[in-house]
Structure 1
Amino acid sequence: MEEFLTIIFRTIFFYALILVIFRLMGKREIGELSILDLVVFIMIGELAVVAIERPTVKLFHAVLPMVLLMAVQIIMAISSLKSKKFRDLVDGKPSIIINRGKIDEEAMRKQRYNFDDLLTQLREKDIRSIADVEFAILESSGSLSVIEKQKGSDSSEAKSGDITIPLILDGTVEEENLQRINKTNLWLRQEMKKKGYRDLKKISFCSYENGKFYIDLMDEE
């Protein structure tokens, strides 16, 4: 009877503890979990199961590694906010699978992403044909973001749109994105100078879309 009550108590206790831990680690949708988040969540869940199934294990010995994992996850999350390189290393980068209606096979190979995966995710978004897609971006979470072609007055034609291209993130110039739009670092710096921004490190976010810039400065401390 005592062991039965212990299991009930531990189940309720670890249920409450896991809720608190996940709450402290921040709100994220299941589909947006990074590999790091997923590993931490699985390990915390496994530790809780072991502690419930083995009442002889001291409560402190079960709680300590769970709290330690929470601390590691929070520290790494803060580090990813401050460092773009660290964020790319941990979470990975989004990949453009379809660019202006053209499939990028090289990007698919790099992500080990096949046409069955692409068609499945397009069907999940109620898109019947790849021909209807202007941009498809494979996010770091594994989800597919899709921008459909905009139909013009003539139904047989579609207007080519554009997507937001981040050129500066956390004060760091995104060289790959500059190459994607056939621009150089020098061009970007000259454009920023024209707008009164001489120190790119003070720019938190700068994007380029349809020939227009969106610029956000870092918060002043």
Structure 2
Amino acid sequence: MQELWVMLSRTLILYGFILVTLRVMGKREIGKLTVFDLVVSIIIAEIAAFTIDDTKMPLYKGLLPIALLAAVQIAFSYLSLKSRRFRELIDGKPSLIIEKGKIRDAEMRRHRYNIDDLLMQLREKDIADLGEVEFAFLEPTGKLSVIKKRSKQPVTNEDLGRNVPSDGLMLPLIIDGEILQDNLRRLGKDEWWLKMQLRSHGSADVKDVLFAGADEAGRFFVDYRDEVDPPDSENGAAKPEALR
């Protein structure tokens, strides 16, 4: 009987400790856990199970590894905020599965992602026709993000008989003050052009920019870090403008 009470008390203590630990580790939607988050969660669950089951093992031997894992996860999250490269290493990068309506089968094979998976996730988004999709991204969490063709979007341009050209995909050009050279080349632009765009929005320092992007239709968008006073903007972000 005493062993039963010990097990119950350890269960309650571990429950409270893990609950606090997960809260400290930060908010993350369960369906959007990264591989790293999932590994940490599984290990914590295993440690908790062993600690509850083995009543002869001192409780601190179960609590300390859980606290250590939480500290590592918090440290990695902090590094991810500071470094985009580290974030990509830990969380991975989105993969472009459909580009301008064309399925990129080589990219699908690289992720061992088949057509049935693609069709299933499209159906979950109420898309039965592949022809409706302009771009689709396989996110690091395994979720599929879809951008429909302009003619298939809810604005009913097709019903009005309008021939609406595609704006293309808005490509990130600056993230966390770092220029993405590959996307610049994809747009056929260079750093001088990008800095001129920033200067036209009142900022010449790339480090002040949290996010900047442009699309093939010529729209440019820039958003600044919180500590930077954004020029000519009430909400901290410049509205998309035509590229010059």
With over 3 angstroms needed to count, the CA separation of the structure-2 counterparts of 1:28 and 1:49, relative to structure 1, is same
Partner of 1:180: 186
Distance between the aligned counterparts of 2:108 and 2:182, measured in 1? 17
- 8 Å contact from structure 1 (residues 134, 161) kept in 2: no
Partner of 2:155: none
**Which consecutive unaligned segments of at least 5 residues does structure 2 have?**
152-157, 229-244
Distance between the aligned counterparts of 1:157 and 1:127, measured in 2? 22
Distance between the aligned counterparts of 2:223 and 2:150, measured in 1? 28
Distance between the aligned counterparts of 1:153 and 1:120, measured in 2? 27
- Normalised to the residue count of structure 1, the TM-score between the two structures is 0.91
- 8 Å contact from structure 1 (residues 92, 140) kept in 2: yes
Deviating 4+ runs (over 6 angstroms): 154-158
Query: Post-superposition shift, 1:160?
Result: 2.4
SS at structure 2 position matched to 1:9: helix
Partner of 1:66: 66
Distance between the aligned counterparts of 2:164 and 2:122, measured in 1? 19
Which of 201, 208, 211 pairs up with 2:218? 211
Query: Post-superposition shift, 1:60?
Result: 0.6
Distance between the aligned counterparts of 2:94 and 2:124, measured in 1? 19
With over 3 angstroms needed to count, the CA separation of the structure-2 counterparts of 1:158 and 1:3, relative to structure 1, is farther
**Letter of the structure 2 residue corresponding to residue 5 of structure 1:** W
Instruction: Specify which structure has the bigger relative contact order, considering alpha-carbon pairs within 8 angstroms and separated by 6 or more residues.
Output: 1
Which of 180, 194, 198 pairs up with 1:192? 198
With over 3 angstroms needed to count, the CA separation of the structure-2 counterparts of 1:2 and 1:157, relative to structure 1, is farther
- 8 Å contact from structure 1 (residues 149, 158) kept in 2: no
Q: Does 1:108 align with 2:108?
A: yes
- Normalised to the residue count of structure 2, the TM-score between the two structures is 0.83
SS at structure 1 position matched to 2:140: coil
Distance between the aligned counterparts of 2:39 and 2:164, measured in 1? 43
Query: Post-superposition shift, 1:25?
Result: 0.8
Q: Does 1:166 align with 2:172?
A: yes
